[in-house]
Amino acid sequence: MHKTACTDCPLRDCSLFDRLTQSELEFMLSFKSGEMQAQPGTTILLEGSSSPQLYTVLQGMGTRYVTLEDGQRQVINFAFPGDFIGLQASLMGEMKHSVEATTDMVLCIFRREDLWSLFRAHPDRAYDLTWIAAAEEHFLGETIATLGRRDAIQRIAWALLRMYQRLRALGLARGGSVPLPFRQQDLADALGLSLVHTNKTLSKLRERELVRWTDGMLTLFDKSALAQIAMTELEPAVTRPLI
């Protein structure tokens, strides 16, 4: 398949991501070893494995989940374009969760063994990796706080608002809607709710003409009202590193 050069990366045009210096860009050209296409349902990283590769999501979306003792799947969050995945296995020896393609995906591939050259030769890029890990921890902490302090309608309002803002910042909004290809069951799992409760809560938001989520597209009609329900602030997306 055609390999997208880092100089032509479509994500670099998104205002969500920090600009690379020329030296960083040249390093990324050598750091990237290839690309991978994944169809829906493909396992990209497997819980308990030690992958020799790291990935940046170039296109498409995925689901991160853990497998429970009874064999059921528990969704923990989602993977969007620009996300760097596999770092956990590089630093902890093995993946503590799995990543599965939800849509058709294209991923940039990096060799795990080359990660150490990044730390040695490019401390700015190493700092970016630290930032990504810290941002992931912060998001998980915010999610835990959501599970502990928000009721069902507040949780769902918070999650839909956060995902809408992220996808809009990626330039994926079309006519006020963004693609959201996940199942209601996936959202329910991630928010610690039953599917029935999630469905009823989404219906309430739809009846109040705040949200429409159908055919894989999400539309928010009143973000301020949704933020009020979610007990959060409408804040601009924070720019983030792109690996």
Q: 197 and 118, same structural domain?
A: no
In terms of residue numbers, what domain contains 156? 144-230
Asked if 158 and 114 sit in the same domain, the reply is: no
The pLDDT, as a whole number, for residue 228 is 95
In a domain, 130, yes or no: no
**pLDDT number for residue 213:** 97
Whether residue 118 sits in one domain with residue 51: yes
Tens digits of per-residue pLDDT, 78-100? 999 999 888 765 555 677 889 99
Last residue of a domain, one of 63, 91, 122: 122
Q: What is the DSSP letter of 13?
A: G
Q: Per the structure block, which two tokens stand in for 127? A: 């700092």
What letter represents residue 192's amino acid? Answer: G
Considering the domain architecture, whether residues 108 and 188 belong to the same structural domain is answered as no
Domain-embedded: residue 190: yes
- Residue 241 in any domain: the answer is no
The reply to whether 29 and 86 lie within a common domain is: yes
Sign of CA pseudo-dihedral 185, 191, 192, 198: negative
- Specify the number of domains making up the chain: 2
Mean pLDDT for back-to-back runs of 10 residues, the chain (243 residues): 79 86 84 93 89 90 90 88 79 77 96 81 81 67 63 92 93 93 94 93 96 96 95 83 85
Say if 79 falls within a structural domain.
Answer: yes
pLDDT of residue 21: 83
Distance CA 79, CA 102 (A): 9
Same-domain status, 11 and 56: yes
The pLDDT of residue 77 is 87
Q: Which of 122, 153, 169 is the last residue of a domain?
A: 122
For residues 205 and 208, what is the distance between their CA atoms, to the nearest angstrom? 5
CATH number at residue 110: 2.60.120.10
Residue 179 forms beta bridges with which residues? 217
Structure tokens that stand for 126 in this block: 């190493």
> pLDDT digit string (tens) for 166-191?
999 999 999 889 999 999 999 999 88
